[in-house]
Structure formats: structure tokens, C-alpha cells
Amino acid sequence: MGGRVGVIALQAAISCQGIGNCASRALLAELRTYPKPGLVSLVDAGSHKDMDASHFVRSAFVLRRSFTEFARAGAKGASFDALRRIGVAAEVAMTRATGGVNTHRGAIFALGLLSAAAGTGDDDPPGEIVRERWGADITAHRRDPSSHGSRAQRHYGTGGAQAEASAGFPTAFDVALPALRNARARGASHSQATLQAFFMLLSCVEDTNLVHRGGAEGLAFAHRAARDFLAAGGVHAPDAMARARSIHHAFIARRLSPGGSADLLAATLFADAVRR
């Protein structure tokens, strides 16, 4: 009997480690996607002067352990407060790895919750598990009032990452994930399908990072650019990459960086990998 229990425990540990690996790989896949307007990639640093791809790679690797911890906590039925403590420790690990650069704070929040949800072993989509188990606590949680997201929410009434998470990440699961899979079904490569999913997110997400950098006008500009790209055929258009690069350079000129959309893209890629 004891041997069987030991095998089950080992299988659970391996499963949680696999979830952590999936989350870390999702961050790297988001980084490889190009051109994501205004964002850091392996090609350039987008609208950022304080970080580059090397910071993101170091962060993604060190956070693998944190996401595994999130999964283990989910398997044990952890409360939102317990998950939040893991998230705080993950942010410390991130800043140590990057020399103080905030590469993945939003992604820790999103992928941490989704990793915990996947760790429960339930058959429901991870987003639904997040909403059912921790949605109310996420809504009630008081964020740092000095953060960019909090200030944008106060001044412009945007929902932000907190509202998205408490609802179970509907933009990732209901918008970006179908776009990713539909693009692949139409013959797009994985990188093209990922870019299509990103532009779907950019077209509708109330991205507080965009609001912080460009106000309501910057957010509206981003939405228009993404919708125009999609209306012209998205990644399936013959000139898709040229159009995407043009939008990327327009974002850099305006110093716009849709970090919230990048976090949701990583969440989308994680959900796709875990389900498959």
C-alpha cells in the first residue's frame, strides 16, 4: 500500500513540474513572437530602454520553479492568500534574476493562478477553475494603489488584470485561444498563429500598460491598429509581416507597450499547451 501511495505522490510531483515547465515555456514562446507592437522580442526591445530579451529569458527560467509551486499549491486546495504569498516570492526571484527589472509581474499573476488551477487536476478549463475557486477573493483583493494598473483603473475606469482574472480570463480563453487554433487550422505556422492571437488580444483588451503610457488616446490607437490589421486578413494576408512591423514601429514612436496583452498571450499559450 505504501509503495502505491509513493508512486501516486511521485506522479503528482512530476505533473506539477510539467505544469511549471509549460508556464515557463509559454513565457519564452511569447518572447519569441515577433513583431508584437511595442514589446520586447528576440529581434529588438520595442518601446523599452530598460530591458531586453536577455532579461526575459533569465526571468522565464527562474520562474519555472515558482509556477511548479503554484501547481503544487493548487493540488493541495490552497487559498488565494496562499497563492498570493507564492506570487510575492516569485516576484523577488524575478527581480534577482533580472537585476531589478520588472519583466513578468503581470505574467506571474496570470500564469500563477492558471498553474494552480491546472494543478488541481480538475477536467474543467483552468480559467473556469480560477473563477470558481478564487474569483471572489481576487475581486476583493486590494492592489498596490501606486501601481500603473491601479492608477489607470482609477483614472480611466479600465478593468485591468484583476477583473480579467476574477472572471476566469475570458479574453484569453474565449478570444485568443480560438484565434490561435483557427489560424493553425487555416494553415498558419505556429508563430503566425501566435501573432494572430496577439493581435486579437490587442484589438480588445483594456490594457492598463497602454493607458499608463498613452492615456485613453493611446489605448484607442492600439485598438484601431489591431482591428485594421485583422480586417485586412491578419496573418493570412500576403503582406502581413510588413504590416505588423509597420504597426510595431508606430508603437515604438509613441512609446506604447501593451504588456497586459503580452501577459494574456502567455496565458493563452499555456492554456493551449496544457490542454493538448
Task: Provide DSSP, 9-59.
Answer: HHHHHHHHHHHHHHHHHHHHHHHH-TT-TTS--SS--TT-SS--HHHHHHH
Cα–Cα dist 218/201, whole Å: 15
| Of the candidates 239, 207, 273, the residue with the CA atom closest to the CA atom of residue 24 | 273
Cα–Cα dist 94/56, whole Å: 9
Backbone angles phi, psi at 77, to 5 degrees: 75, 35
Q: What is the pLDDT of residues 176-224, one digit of tens each?
A: 999 999 999 999 999 999 999 999 999 999 999 999 999 999 999 999 9
pLDDT (0 to 100) of residue 8? 42
Cα–Cα dist 214/37, whole Å: 14
Cα–Cα dist 188/151, whole Å: 39
Residues 6+ apart with CB under 8 A from 152: 158, 160, 208, 211, 212
CA–centroid distance for 57 within its chain: 15
pLDDT tens sequence for the chain (276 residues): 544 434 344 455 569 999 999 999 999 999 999 999 999 999 999 999 999 999 999 999 999 999 999 999 999 999 999 999 999 999 999 999 999 999 999 999 999 999 999 999 999 999 999 999 999 999 999 865 555 545 555 454 556 899 999 999 999 999 999 999 999 999 999 999 999 999 999 999 999 999 999 999 999 999 999 999 999 999 999 999 999 999 999 999 999 999 999 999 999 999 999 976
Q: Which three cell numbers stand for residue 130?
A: 480560477
SS3 state at 256: coil
Cα–Cα dist 194/235, whole Å: 10
> Which domains does the chain show, CATH number per domain?
2-275 (1.10.4200.10)
Contact 7, 17 (CB under 8 A): no
Cα–Cα dist 24/70, whole Å: 12
pLDDT (0 to 100) of residue 144? 57
Residue with cell 530598460: 50
| Of the candidates 197, 31, 19, 30, the residue with the CA atom closest to the CA atom of residue 113 | 19
pLDDT (0 to 100) of residue 68? 98
| Of the candidates 273, 272, 227, the residue with the CA atom closest to the CA atom of residue 37 | 227
pLDDT (0 to 100) of residue 160? 86
Cα–Cα dist 271/22, whole Å: 9
Q: Which three cell numbers stand for residue 78?
A: 490552497
First to last CA, the chain: 32
Greatest pairwise CA separation for the chain in angstroms? 65
pLDDT (0 to 100) of residue 13? 59
Cα–Cα dist 150/161, whole Å: 10
Cα–Cα dist 14/18, whole Å: 6
